Structure 1
Amino acid sequence: MMGRIIGLAFIIALAVSPVAAEEPQISIPKSVEAGANFAVGFESGLEKGDEVTIGTAAGEPIAQAPRAYPTTDSPSVEIAAPVDPGDYTVVIIRGSKPIATRPITVTGASASLRAPAKAVLREQIAVEYEGPANPGDHVTFVKLDGTPILYAQRAYPNGKQKGTLEMIAPEKPGRYKVAYFTGVKPLASVPLEVTGASASVSAPKLVRIRDRFEVTVEGPANPGDVLTLGDAKGSPINFSAKVPLRGKQSDKLSMTAPQHEGRYTVVYLSGSTVLASAPLKAYAAEATLDVQGPVMTESDFRIIWSGPENAGDRIGLRKPGGPLFGDLAHADVARSFGDAVLLRAPAEPGSYEAVYVTGGTELAVLQLDVQPPSATLYAPDAVQGGLDFAVVWEGPGNQADRVELVKQGSDRPVAHTFATRGNPIAIWAPREGGDYTLRYVMRGGKVLAEKPMRIRPPAENPGTLVVGDAGYRRFGTGTAVEILLDLSGGPSDVAAVKETLQKLVEHALPREANLALRVFGHGGPESCRSDLAIPIAPVNPQAASAKLGALEAGGSGKAAIAASLRKVAEDLAEKRGERIVLLVTDGEEGCGDNPAAALRFLAEQGVDTPFAIIGYGVEDAERRYLLESWAGIGAGAYFHAPDRAALAEALLRAMRTPFEVVDAKGGIVARGRGGEGAIPLPEGQYLVKYRIEGLAKDAEAAIAAGNTTAVPLQ
């Protein structure tokens, strides 16, 4: 009995005692090329769940190394060698522990590439390669320092150790490398310079909604290039139909007009880059009218319209049932600003009608309720003299409406700012303390609102801020300067202006800038021409000076100021850097148009172009006031130039960098231009805000009582 028990215990012990596992026997090559796949074969000892990976020379598994999972049915697996040469091990892992290792040497891999040295953006290029063609090997684009480019195209050899790959150059111009990678390791690279591409699009300016129309296009015709519809500013419209280019660098294509009326563009799109665009207006067969904002007596307001835009179409006001185009305002549709015409409301409040007329037929009528004008001013009750302060206003906001400051007991303004400069606006407080009145005044002198204010005397011992050294605007390579020149004056006046401008382009404009010249007020009796005498191009002082010298006074030509302003966006469309426009004129619009409306339209369309208006030989105070009000639209500036010497100084001042000084609370306390004298300020911390080469900049200024702080613009 006892023997049976002992025998049974022995059998149980055998069942539960661990059996020593057999170490797997594997076969691998002694060496393998970096990044290449190699076979790991199991000769014996393989168990379910065993893993194969790569380890260090000491046998420690390498994190993130690839792993392979053999089975009894497939005891041989492939695994990728590391991309860095050196001594490694093949490690067998069972459970979570290494149970066997075998040494392996990884040798270096090499590759070579041939590609064009230059390509335009998104151009298809042929890249010749030789390399190991390991699984996952690829050719791609990297930055000059080797940094990968997010979402850059990859092309794969697909097992072929020698061949040619078709690739699309990067979309952004710059210097790159074409690189051959095995895993994450580059084996070879060659430089590639990507340049910008140019294109042009020509389309009808006016099409009926949903009609087919033809577009003439020239461009690189890269793979994937398309024509599509964009908004009025040239930005592609999401989900708009795309018309592929057919590989022809010059072609005519058919498109479908938008389904809804409005202003659009036809856009040449290469990837996500807009290479060119052309304006397009879609209209319905009927006309519509709408009004923007309340209509106040003797105030400018906008009628937004759509219609056939036939020659001679007009929009005008009338009393209900009364005649059209009498004493009340009217405007030609051809002189619209975008989809709107600007009209002046009648002097008497009441009910009126706006009417769209084509060929004597009324297509649309809009009822208007004209109300008496009103305004409200919001400003501090007391401010410190010698500094700017902010005013928030409500009112008509007409061209030449102004907010002015008068000392109580006097009717003569000591400071003023035009309402068209924005909301809020900044106005200067005089240094003389006392009681003042802030008031909103319409162009005709009618006061709509008043607010009493107290101005405190300036600090007794202020510090001084000096901004800039030479202070002239630093130009970037994309900066564009356009001169709008009025030739309607007499020969002596025009000769003086030409001579001064010649000196400007010869000596003051850097060669990195671009220059355009548009002239008007010429062309003979009753002419309203506006001609682009010098298209935008890098400054050529000799050619520009010769062109200016050849210009002649317009004699009886009319000054088409508004028409010239309308052309600015088109003239400078291809330039994306800082843009500066110099309008040299005596200020009289001669073609029945509205320069103020043209400037306001440009500002509202996002045309980021500061206008410097230079009034040469303007003696009439009312006309000078009018020019100053124009400059107030879109943050421009007015420079008075009564004679030749003043004209030269005005042109140089217009090229200097404008700046604003902001206090610790974020309020504008002073404005000026670089290199134009010292500004007294109370002690404290300030920021000088300005733009250089199209970029917004801030410079800190710590002002101490009695001391001078210099801030260079750089």
Structure 2
Amino acid sequence: MKTLFTLLATATFSLGDTPQAIIVLDASGSMWGQIEGKAKIEIARDVIAELLADLPSDLELGLVAYGHRREGDCDDIELLIPPGKVDRAKFQDTVNNIVPKGKTPLTASVEFAAQALNFAEEKSSVILVTDGLENCDRDPCATAKMLEEQGIDFTAHVVAFDLTAKDALTVECLATETGGQFLPAGDAASLATAIGMAVDTIVTPEEEVEVEPILENPVTLTAPDTVAAGARFEVGFAFEGEGKGHERDFITIVPIDTEERLWDNYSYTRDGSPVEITALPDPQKAEIRYLSGQTRKTLGCRPIELTAVTATVSAATEATAASQVEITWTGPAYPGDFITIVSKDAEEKTWAKYAYVKPGESVVKVAGLPTAGPCEIRYLLGQDRTTLARADILLTEAAATLSAPESVVVGSTVPVEWTGPMTPGDFITIVTKDTPEKKWAKYAYADEKNQPAQIQAPMTPGAAEIRYIVGQGRETLARVDIELTEATVTLSAPETIVAGSDVEIEWTGPNNAGDFITVVPKDLPEKKWAKYAYTDIGSPLKVAAPLDAGEAEIRYIAGQGRDTLARIPITIEAPTIVLTAAASAEAGSKVNVEWTAPNNQGDFITIVPKNTPEKKWLKYVYANAESPAGIEAPDEAGEAEIRYIAAQDRRTLARVPITITPSSKEE
């Protein structure tokens, strides 16, 4: 069952009030379905962008989404933006970041909106735009009756997006039971039109809405007697006598024996005659009908014959599995038409990898299936996936070879020479021997620029495999064994070091990509680190010690996985810091400060008012400058402090008081 794009705008206001609306976007899985080659979620985003661009300035708008966080959860309904003055950029960004994945709690969403807007005490309206049916065991018709009975003035407008007529009529009751509009929408243009009509109804006070009488006068239709199946064509319309249409009226094309009130492809008539309609995809005798938007009564009709369209596809009779196949084609190139390669016995209206066809072009490239066997190239109509042309092709087994050292150190970068089909997405990986098929670790794509491929080995010692994996289907095309050996690492450094100072560390080890050495408190959890240096600097290297005195460790940490490959203890001693200066100084004057300290790289000395927060400073001198040095005093008189601040985390390591007196230059 399709599950939907549902756009739900909800408003509660009375004449003279500012209209409020909530758009509820259903992000259920069917939103990835396509119309003329474009995903419905993308169509929805574009339509909402148009809506925002033309939004009346006095409309307050919010956003609700459902099905966007969890699969299979009928309670996944969330208010993302409360109704209010519209920040268009924020609104659109929020919509663009919604990812379809869940179910369609259609009925619960209508209730959610109604409750959110206090429907029992306030006038409220809902616009529901859905491409699917309720699939959370609720009855939308019963709920519509309840909301109409309990609400002070509740109205639901329904936009049926990409639904068949019969499916659409199952949710029509939400509109009819509450006095709302029912509006079909089959593509981006009609979706925008339908939502626009619904929003117009919300923002226009009820007293000013012109309600057209139900049309009784016949409508005369003009159109070609024949048209190619699937083609776009124009239909003109005119009313007899004084008759005129309603903005919800539409013209549809249906098989000639279709029962009343149903429709297929259609266009709204609100913009006048003529309108454009897409013919049905199958050759047949059909009928064009003008339907009342209020009653869906046929107000005018005329026959039309849909003639067959032809297409051809041709390619080499054999190709390597998963390889790119060059296909020459002819055909109508309607929007959304595409060419695919499937197994010979694949069901109709199914496809694998594909390429869209474009007017004016005659060649496409399509990736074949990853497995060998008899297959078929098919030209499919975008409208309903009917196969318009087909040709046989035999896919033969693809071959690949791999060559690399028999053993390497864990985590090292391994040069792998290879041959293979180089189909898009193919890659080479190194995994432990017991890794399931269609799983991988670090990898390199199998393309010409990666020859040989440079791949980082796993960190687990033991038997491993190099695998050539086909991008399509993730099948392993070739494999070769490789042994991963333990890494040998040594560390050497002084046994004690002053807090914050640089520790010179000699080391040996694999020096794999991203490996580094850090000095941390002994109780720091694994896969955590403090100041560090990458091993590609060479040996020895220097790392700043922590600022806290106590037992610590020097750790060699693997860049891949962050495992500690070696460690040695080191003791961090508290630094001895002495600051000496006069007990007082004039505001803004230079204060001669003398110090003894470790003078670690970046440490500095500053003078600040006593109430200055920690990790804040004014004018300063670096501690590695020559002592004593002049430091500018604060401009305001009062109690102050001389502070010695560590560069590593801006911690104050020592302080002495100083009194700042008014400047003698002040009058």
TM-score, length-scaled by structure 1: 0.36
The answer to which structure, 1 or 2, has the higher relative contact order (CA under 8 A, 6+ apart) is 1
TM-score, length-scaled by structure 2: 0.39
